[in-house]
Structure 1
Amino acid sequence: PATFGVTQVIAGWTEALQLMPVGSKWRLYVPYDLAYGATDRGAIKPFSNLIFDVELLGIE
């Protein structure tokens, strides 16, 4: 598990985390404009749409 603030992640995660109930598991399909946009992030190329499997274990 990872711990982070809702403002420390890409915009697509910020939007999804605010809608997720604790204990839920979601597959997030994040369009490039809510991810890293035109920025080259090394392994993540510009304009990349991203997919994440996320489980929200708790909120502090």
Structure 2
Amino acid sequence: MQRASPETATDHCSACGTEQRLDVSIAILTESPDEANAAFSREPYRIVECRSCGETSKTRMNDA
């Protein structure tokens, strides 16, 4: 199985409506606005940004 390189991998961008190169990253985000519980409300998110239009989406990994 051959893997696509980050420079040639594409996926559908819902904002552009076409296949585009996307930047994908994982980040730990705090969900609670209450500082007292912030340490207990951190969740991993998949963050996708279209290189063409700049549209960004965040998906909670536990919901994916």
Mark yes or no: TM-score above 0.5.
Answer: no
Q: Which has the higher strand share?
A: 2
Q: Which of the pair has the greater relative contact order for Cα pairs under 8 Å at 6+ separation?
A: 1
TM-score (normalised: structure 2):
0.26
